[in-house]
Amino acid sequence: MLDCASVIVGFTGAGISTESGVPDFRSPGSPWMVNKPIPFDAFVRSRAARIEAWRRKFTMDDHFAGAGPNRGHRALARLIADGRSPGLITQNIDNLHQASGIPDDRIVELHGNGTYATCLTCGWRHELAAIRPAFEASGEPPSCIMCGGVVKSATISFGQAMPQAQMLRAHDLTMRADLFLVAGSSLVVFPAATFPVIAKRNGAKLVIINREPTEQDVIADLVVRAEIGAALAPLA
């Protein structure tokens, strides 16, 4: 199917990063369960919630400090480097696709990026390397040096609006695909999980590589129930 495809678009979720040591939110015993992300409205409304959110965020960062891209990331990077794929859609926030060598402008991050922060008012980018020591010294949540606004990890939290530009880019990529390759997503988080359906309706072949069954297996042309790294390694 890969050989027959002319435009391959990858779609990834947490499963592609587990081989790198990044815990999957839904796995039993995941440290995410004791460090659950704070919902967006609470973060905006409450200073105490912001403090707790930053404490949990840095605790989670320590869990996957030093995680690097694996065979699955490298395989998808190869497809893009070889010109067989115009870009990649990811639900992940771990920056490992960039670390595998894919240029930023070829990656659509539907749920943002956890390796930096932004001001919710003016959008100014803030680096964690500056925020963390200041937070740990003062216990105060960061505020924006430009406008005084609330600074938040650049991820999309529960209850936060989806990023419109990223949604449009993802839709555009999906409509170009003649092979849509889902890797490591259980396809339960919407609206992200609509893209494989859109691709299929648009005539693309749909391949789902995931350790667990998904609700979209019934519309897939091929389901590979295997570890992502092992399944994609021949491509890398």
Binding site for Zn ion (CB under 5 A): 119, 121-122, 124, 144, 146-147, 149
Give dist(CA 130, CA 147) in Å, integer.
Answer: 17
- Residue 4 annotated as part of some ligand binding site: no
For Zn ion, the closer CB: 119 or 231: 119
For Zn ion, the closer CB: 115 or 143: 143
Instruction: Give Cα 63 to chain centroid, integer Å.
Output: 17
| Residues 6+ away with beta carbon under 8 Å from 109 | 90, 92, 93, 166
Phi, psi of 17 (to 5 degrees): -100, -5
- Where residue 32 falls (left for φ over 0; alpha for ψ -120 to 50; beta otherwise) is alpha
- Residue 147 annotated as part of some ligand binding site: yes
CB of 152 to Zn ion, least distance (A): 11
For Zn ion, the closer CB: 119 or 199: 119
CB of 145 to Zn ion, least distance (A): 8
Amino acid letter, residue 168: L
For Zn ion, the closer CB: 140 or 215: 140
CB of 104 to Zn ion, least distance (A): 22
Bond before 31 cis per omega within 30 degrees:
no
- Say if residue 31 is exposed, middle or buried (CB neighbours under 10 Å; 0-12, 13-18, 19+): middle
CB of 50 to Zn ion, least distance (A): 15
Catalytic residue among 63, 73, 97, 111: 111
111 catalytic? Reply is: yes
Tokens linked to 91: 């639900």
Binding-site residue ranges: 119, 122, 144, 147
Q: Which residues does the annotation mark as catalytic?
A: 111
Binding-site residue ranges for Zn(2+): 119, 122, 144, 147
